[in-house]
Amino acid sequence: MGKAILLVCDGLGDRPFAERGGKTPLQVAKKPNWDVLAKEGINGQMDVISPGIVPGSDTAHLALLGYDPFQCYPGRGTFEALGAGIELKEGDIAFRGNFATVAEDGSMRILDRRAGRFGSKALADALNIEINGVEVIVKHTVEHRCAVVFRGEGLSRFVSDVDPHEEGLPPRKCIPTRSEKNAERTARIVNEFVRRSHEILSRHPENEERRRKGVPVANILLLRGAGAHESVEPFQKRFGFKACCIAGASLYKGVAKFLGIPTIDVEGATGNANTNLKAKAESAIEALKTHDFVFIHVKATDNFGHDGDFDGKVRMIERIDAEMISLFREIDAYVVVTADHSTPVSLRRHSADPVPVVICGDGVRTDTVKKFDEFAAASGGLGRLRGRDLIPILSDLMGFYKMFGT
């Protein structure tokens, strides 16, 4: 049976950028190793969810790993909680949490949605409280981010975000998004929690210290992306091979955990631009000794897209080529490289533009594509496929196929 590495570069796809001669970052970047993969492999364009649907990173990863996100998406908070190492129980409701700064003049206007990218374990621990018999579990992950779980009777995931996704406004009231008793009760508890978070954090010693230093205080916790505990058929059961995940950011570890895929921690894998790509690639090659399939995630390409930083995205692509793909050229395994969606520099957000994908390895029908980019991929042998088709195609190449009929 064959083995495989799937490298997903977040938000890698792009649109022609007028200020760079109508080229995309993939077209401008010098990436000799990546282009050899394209030349030796089979290429195509992929609608990760389906044509015209703008993917979130969470739903996109479910699709890339062979699951239908329309059937089994539990809500973002679920992945954040699983990725933070919280064991979810039946009935739990999970959120993504952001420490933020609100004005201390009584207006509650949000001054900084990320509290200067500050958060800490001590602040998170102070928010592990109980409200009307519901236990609230808050776990700090990185910078201003937390996972938040509400545990108790009669809760529902059908409630709105508290985070208004905009500064200058006060936090939004959490409201039920379905008219049901449990959603109403959950919204009331969430609102009470946010109020208490402001009360507790405002007088926390770490914030007193920050006030003295004149840096933004993390004086409220904003919640979004309610998710429930749900279970799906584990990856190995569904596809027949043993997988592992290498990722820095908790969302991706959480998606993996949800599918029963363990994460291998790599020192220096941060989920930021300063991440240690070489260490991730080396760990992946090492992990192939004990696993059939390694999914590796690189986040920073998406961040540069959101920042509108064309040159940053180009540099990141060049680093991925030099520090990761160069190492994958010599290994005896299928190598698949793609993205979870496009994050065009010109838009600074995700778009529905399909992403390029290449599969390189034994027995693939090499096509005429010579370079890895959005335009070259369009003439590849894979044609245009959906994200959910990728793992079945790979399973067949690896020899873990299931025949339909006899």
Q: Nearer Cβ to Zn ion, position 134 or 247?
A: 247
Tokens 């309610």 sit at which residue?
A: 226
> Shortest gap between Cβ of 26 and Zn ion (angstroms)?
16
Q: Which residues of 41-65 are buried (b: 16+ CB within 10 A; e: fewer)?
A: bbbbbbbbbeeebebbbbbbbbbbb
Q: Nearer Cβ to Zn ion, position 10 or 373?
A: 10
Pairing, β 93-102 against β 220-228: antiparallel
CA distance 354 to 32: 23
CA distance 254 to 247: 10
Q: Which residues pair with 79 in a beta bridge?
A: none
| Distance of alpha carbon 297 from the chain centroid | 8
> Shortest gap between Cβ of 227 and Zn ion (angstroms)?
17
Count of CA atoms in the C-beta half-sphere (13 A) of 300: 21
> Shortest gap between Cβ of 339 and Zn ion (angstroms)?
8
Q: Nearer Cβ to Zn ion, position 83 or 216?
A: 83
Pairing, β 334-338 against β 4-9: parallel
> Shortest gap between Cβ of 254 and Zn ion (angstroms)?
13
> Shortest gap between Cβ of 56 and Zn ion (angstroms)?
7
| Distance of alpha carbon 125 from the chain centroid | 25
- Interacting residues with Zn ion (CB under 5 A): 10, 57, 302, 340
- CA-based radius of gyration for the chain: 22
Q: Nearer Cβ to Zn ion, position 10 or 321?
A: 10
> Shortest gap between Cβ of 117 and Zn ion (angstroms)?
17
> Shortest gap between Cβ of 1 and Zn ion (angstroms)?
30
Decide: 219 and 116 in contact? Cβ < 8 Å.
Answer: no
What are the φ and ψ backbone dihedral angles of 381, each rounded to 5 degrees?
A: -70, -20
Q: Nearer Cβ to Zn ion, position 179 or 274?
A: 274
> Shortest gap between Cβ of 111 and Zn ion (angstroms)?
24
CA distance 397 to 385: 16
> Shortest gap between Cβ of 302 and Zn ion (angstroms)?
4
Q: Which residue is nearest to Zn ion (CB)?
A: 57
Q: Nearer Cβ to Zn ion, position 101 or 351?
A: 351
Q: Nearer Cβ to Zn ion, position 80 or 340?
A: 340
CA distance 306 to 14: 11
DSSP 8-state code for residue 316: H
Q: Which of 105, 104, 143 is nearest to 121 (CA)?
A: 143
Q: Nearer Cβ to Zn ion, position 108 or 347?
A: 347
Q: Indicate the helix (H) or strand (E) that contains 321.
A: none
CA distance 39 to 41: 6
Q: Nearer Cβ to Zn ion, position 308 or 381?
A: 308
Q: Nearer Cβ to Zn ion, position 249 or 382?
A: 249
Q: Which residues pair with 101 in a beta bridge?
A: 112
> Shortest gap between Cβ of 10 and Zn ion (angstroms)?
4
In the chain, the amino acid numbered 385 is L
CB within 8 Å of 209: residues ≥ 6 apart: none
> Shortest gap between Cβ of 251 and Zn ion (angstroms)?
9
Give the count of beta carbons closer than 10 Å to the beta carbon of residue 265: 10
Structure token digits, residue 171 = 């936090």
Q: Nearer Cβ to Zn ion, position 10 or 367?
A: 10
